[in-house]
Amino acid sequence: MTNGEQKRSMEVKNRIQSDFQQNMSYGDYLHLDEILSSQHRLSDHHDEMLFIIIHQSSELWMKLILHELSAATACIKQNNLEPSFKMLSRVSRIQQQLIQSWSILSTLTPAEYMEFRDKLGQSSGFQSYQNRLIEFALGNKNEHMLAVYKHDQPLYEKMQEALREPSLYDASIHALVKRGLKVDDAALSRDYAKMYEPNESVEEAWLTVYRDVEKYWDLYELAEKLVDVGHQQQIWRFNHMSTVERIIGHKQGTGGSSGVMYLKRALDQHFFPELWNLRTKI
C-alpha cells in the first residue's frame, strides 16, 4: 500500500463512528435487541425457527401495508389522488415480498412440521388481526370474524372500529362522484360494516373513466393501482392456500378452521369487483 493509500485509509477509519456511549447506534434505532430476542421456540426442532421468523416478518410487512393503505385512503378522501399512487404502488411491492415468503416456508416438509405443530396449541394465522385489518381496508368486511379477538378488549374495539370505517374502495367511489360521475345513493350511503356488493352505477362510472382516459387520467391511474393491489392480494391468498395444502394437506387448521377448504373459499371473494367486470365491456 502506498503512503497515499495508507493516509486515505487512516482518514476513513478516523471518520467511522465507534463510540456509542452517548450516541444512538444502528441497533438502538431499530430496537434490535427486542426484535431478535422475540423468537421463542416451543420445541427443540430446528425448523420451528423458520416458522416463527416467516410469520413475524410477515406481520412487520403487514404493518407497513396498513400504514400505506391508511395514508392512501386519507389522500383519496381529500381528493388528493396523486400521493396515493406512490403509496399503493408500495403496497403492491410489499405484497410481492409477502408472496415470495410462501416459497421459503414451502421448504418445510410435512414430516418436519408435524414435529412441532402440536406446540402451536390453538394459535393460527387465521387469527392474524393485521391480515384481517388489511382485508377490511380493501372492502372484505365480515363481523363474524371478530369473535376470535374478544379475549383482548382493546383490540376487539379497534377491530370493530375498523369494520365500520369506509374502505379504500369506498373512498375511491366517492372520488368518482367528486369528479361529477353519477353513483347511486345505495353505494354512497351503504353500511360500511357489510361486505361490499357490486353496483351497476359504480361500474358505469368506472367505464366512463376507462373510455375517456385523457379526461379522467387520475381516476384511471387510481383504478389501475387498485387492480394491482387486489391482484397481488389474490396471489398471496392462492400461495397461502397452496403452501398450506403442500404441508398439511386437508387437515383441520390449528385454530379450528377447515384449513385448505377455508382458504380456497376465500379465493372466491374478489376485491373491487366493478374494476374486473368492466374489462369484458371495454
pLDDT single digits (tens) 137-171:
999 999 999 999 999 999 999 999 999 999 999 99
**Using CA atoms, how far apart are residues 172 and 143, in angstroms rounded to an integer?**
23
Residue 194: C-alpha distances to residues 1, 114, 154, 176 (Å): 71, 38, 22, 21
Tell me which residue range forms the domain holding 210. Answer: 47-280
pLDDT confidence tier of residue 3, bands split at 50, 70 and 90: low
| All cell numbers assigned to 235 | 396471489
The pTM for the full model equals 0.90
Answer yes or no: is 55 a known binding residue.
yes
pLDDT above 90 (res 16): no
Query: How confident is the model over 196-217, as a mean pLDDT?
Result: 97
Query: What is the H or E stretch that residue 14 is in?
Result: helix 3-15
How confident is the prediction for the chain on average, in pLDDT? 92
pLDDT confidence tier of residue 255, bands split at 50, 70 and 90: confident
Answer yes or no: is 117 a known binding residue.
yes
Query: How confident is the model over 92-121, as a mean pLDDT?
Result: 95
pLDDT confidence tier of residue 11, bands split at 50, 70 and 90: low
pLDDT confidence tier of residue 268, bands split at 50, 70 and 90: confident
pLDDT above 90 (res 33): yes
Q: Give residue 108's pLDDT.
A: 95
Answer yes or no: is 113 a known binding residue.
yes
| All cell numbers assigned to 198 | 357490486
| Domain contains 32 | no
* 206, burial (CB in 10 Å: exposed 0-12, middle 13-18, buried 19+): buried
Q: Give residue 6's pLDDT.
A: 66
Our count of domains for the chain comes to: 1
Query: If we measure between CA atoms, which residue out of 277, 276, 272 comes closest to residue 139?
Result: 272
| Domain contains 125 | yes
| Domain contains 113 | yes
Query: How confident is the model over 245-256, as a mean pLDDT?
Result: 82
229: left (phi over 0), alpha (psi -120 to 50) or beta: alpha
| Domain contains 41 | no
Answer yes or no: is 237 a known binding residue.
no
| Domain contains 175 | yes
pLDDT digits (tens, 9 = 90+) for 49-68: 999 999 999 999 999 999 99
| Domain contains 273 | yes
| Domain contains 105 | yes
Answer yes or no: is 240 a known binding residue.
yes
Residue corresponding to grid cell 372466491: 268
Q: Dihedral through CA 266, CA 267, CA 273, CA 276, nearest 10?
A: 170
Answer yes or no: is 52 a known binding residue.
yes
pLDDT above 90 (res 178): yes
Q: Dihedral through CA 155, CA 157, CA 159, CA 160, nearest 10?
A: 170
* Distance from the first to the final alpha carbon of the chain: 68
CATH of the domain at 85: 1.20.58.480
Q: Give residue 12's pLDDT.
A: 53
| Domain contains 234 | yes
